[in-house]
C-alpha cells in the first residue's frame, strides 16, 4: 500500500494506530493475543517479548500476559506505546522465534516469568520442572549468563530452593506449621539405621511413633534417580515398621490445615498401637 492509501485507511477509521508504525484493524476483537502481537511488531527487528508475555505466547500455562513487557537492546530509544512496559537488556543471543514472534528463549522466559509472577512464581517454576519444560541445569546456565539483570537476585533465590532437596524451602515451611500447631517431639534430618544395616536420613521424624514425614521440594519429581531412590527408601522404612507420609510443596501451599490434621490423626493412631 502507498502512503496515501494507508492515510486514507486510517482516516476512515478502518485502522487504529496502536503503536508507532503498527496499526490494528478496528473490526477485529481487541484480545490478549492482539495486544501481544502489537507489542511484538513494535519491537521488530531487535527486541523480544519477555517474562509473562513470552511465557503466555510460548504456551507455558500463564493465564494472562499481563504485564505486557518487551526487551530492547541497551541504547535503543523508541516512543513507548501506552500499556506496554519496556526494559533495556542485552539478551545475549537468547532470543528465538515462536509462532512468528520474537520471544526470549524458553529457559530465560521461565526464570523471568517466575520472578514476575511473585507469590505464584514458586508454583509456576515447580510445574516447569516437573513437566520437564526446562531442567535445573538449563536454568542455572541461563541465570549465570544473565547475572545482574532486574530480578536476578529473586531468580537466584528461586533456583536455590528448587535445587535443594527440601531443607531450604518446603522443609522450613513444614517445621513452621508443626510449631504453630503445637505439635512436638519430632526431629529434623534424623539418621536411622534399618534392620538390613542401611542408613537413611528422615526429613522430619517422630521417632517414638516411628512416623516419618518426607518433604518433597520443587525439583524432586524432575530428577528420575532421586524419585526412584526415595521410593526405595520409603519401602525400606515401611518394612521396618515406620509409617511414611509424603508432603509436597503443593500440599504446603494449598492444603496446610489438611496436612496438620492428617499428622494429628496418624500420631493418635500410632499412640494406641
- Look at residue 16 and tell me if it is in a domain: no
End-to-end CA distance of the chain: 85
Q: Give the structural domain span for 143.
A: 31-163
Question: The C-alpha cell of 204 is what?
Answer: 522430619
Together in a domain, 131 and 206: no
Better-predicted residue by pLDDT, 221 or 161: 161
Together in a domain, 57 and 143: yes
Query: What pLDDT score was predicted for residue 6?
Result: 84
Residues 119-178: tens digit of each pLDDT: 888 778 877 887 789 988 899 999 999 999 999 999 998 887 776 544 446 787 898 899
Together in a domain, 73 and 176: no
Percent of the residues in the chain that have a pLDDT greater than 90, as a whole number? 59
Query: What pLDDT score was predicted for residue 145?
Result: 95
b/e map 228-260, b = 16+ CB within 10 Å = eebeebbebbeeeebbbeebbbbbbeeebeebb
Together in a domain, 128 and 239: no
Together in a domain, 41 and 155: yes
Chain centroid to Cα 210, Å, comes to 35
Read off the pLDDT of each residue in 254-262 and give the average, rounded to a whole number.
94
- Look at residue 250 and tell me if it is in a domain: yes
- Look at residue 17 and tell me if it is in a domain: no
Together in a domain, 50 and 150: yes
Query: What pLDDT score was predicted for residue 169?
Result: 66
Average pLDDT, the chain: 88
Residue 249: is its pLDDT beyond 90? no
Q: What are phi and psi of 191, to 5 degrees?
A: -85, 125
Q: Determine if the pTM surpasses 0.85.
A: no
- CB-based contacts of 121: which residues, under 8 Å, 6+ apart? 113, 114, 115, 158
Nearest to 122 by CA among 194, 238, 223, 217: 217
Q: What are phi and psi of 87, to 5 degrees?
A: -120, 150
CATH code of 248's domain = 3.40.960.10
Query: What pLDDT score was predicted for residue 221?
Result: 47
Together in a domain, 97 and 153: yes
At 202, which helix (H) or strand (E)? strand 199-206
Together in a domain, 238 and 191: yes
Counted domains in the chain: 2
pLDDT band at 218 (very low <50, low <70, confident <90, very high): low
- Look at residue 13 and tell me if it is in a domain: no
d(C-alpha 189, C-alpha 184), whole Å: 15
Together in a domain, 150 and 248: no
Residues 19-74: tens digit of each pLDDT: 888 999 999 998 999 999 999 999 999 999 999 999 999 999 999 998 899 999 99
Proportion of the chain in helix, strand, coil states, percent, rounded to 5: 45, 20, 35
Query: What pLDDT score was predicted for residue 196?
Result: 86
**CA–CA distance from 96 to each of 21, 22, 117, 143, 148 (Å)?**
23, 21, 22, 17, 22
d(C-alpha 73, C-alpha 76), whole Å: 6
Amino acid at each position: 500500500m502507498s502512503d496515501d492509501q494507508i492515510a486514507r485507511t486510517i482516516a476512515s477509521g478502518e485502522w487504529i494506530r496502536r503503536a508507532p508504525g503498527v496499526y490494528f484493524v478496528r473490526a477485529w476483537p481487541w484480545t490478549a493475543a492482539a495486544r501481544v502481537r502489537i507489542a511484538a511488531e513494535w519491537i521488530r527487528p531487535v527486541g523480544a517479548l519477555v517474562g509473562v508475555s513470552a511465557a503466555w505466547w510460548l504456551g507455558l500455562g500463564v493465564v494472562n500476559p499481563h504485564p505486557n513487557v518487551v526487551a530492547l537492546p541497551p541504547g535503543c530509544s523508541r516512543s513507548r506505546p501506552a500499556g506496554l512496559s519496556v526494559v533495556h537488556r542485552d539478551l545475549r543471543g537468547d532470543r528465538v522465534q515462536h509462532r512468528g514472534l520474537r520471544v526470549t528463549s524458553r529457559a530465560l522466559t521461565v526464570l523471568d516469568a517466575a520472578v514476575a509472577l511473585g507469590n505464584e512464581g514458586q508454583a509456576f517454576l515447580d510445574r516447569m520442572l516437573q513437566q520437564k519444560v526446562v531442567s535445573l541445569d538449563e536454568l542455572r546456565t541461563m541465570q549465570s549468563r544473565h547475572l545482574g539483570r532486574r530480578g536476578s537476585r529473586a531468580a537466584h533465590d528461586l533456583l536455590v530452593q528448587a535445587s535443594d532437596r527440601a531443607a531450604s524451602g518446603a522443609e522450613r515451611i513444614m517445621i513452621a506449621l508443626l510449631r504453630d500447631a503445637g505439635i512436638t517431639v519430632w526431629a529434623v534430618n534424623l539418621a536411622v539405621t534399618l534392620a538390613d544395616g542401611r542408613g537413611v536420613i528422615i526429613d522430619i521424624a517422630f521417632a517414638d511413633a516411628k512416623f516419618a514425614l518426607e518433604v518433597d521440594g520443587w525439583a524432586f519429581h524432575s530428577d528420575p534417580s532421586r524419585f526412584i531412590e526415595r521410593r526405595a527408601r520409603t519401602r525400606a522404612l515401611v518394612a521396618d515398621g515406620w509409617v511414611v507420609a509424603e508432603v509436597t510443596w503443593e500440599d504446603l501451599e494449598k492444603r496446610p490445615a489438611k496436612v496438620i490434621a492428617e499428622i494429628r490423626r496418624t500420631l493418635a493412631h500410632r499412640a494406641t498401637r
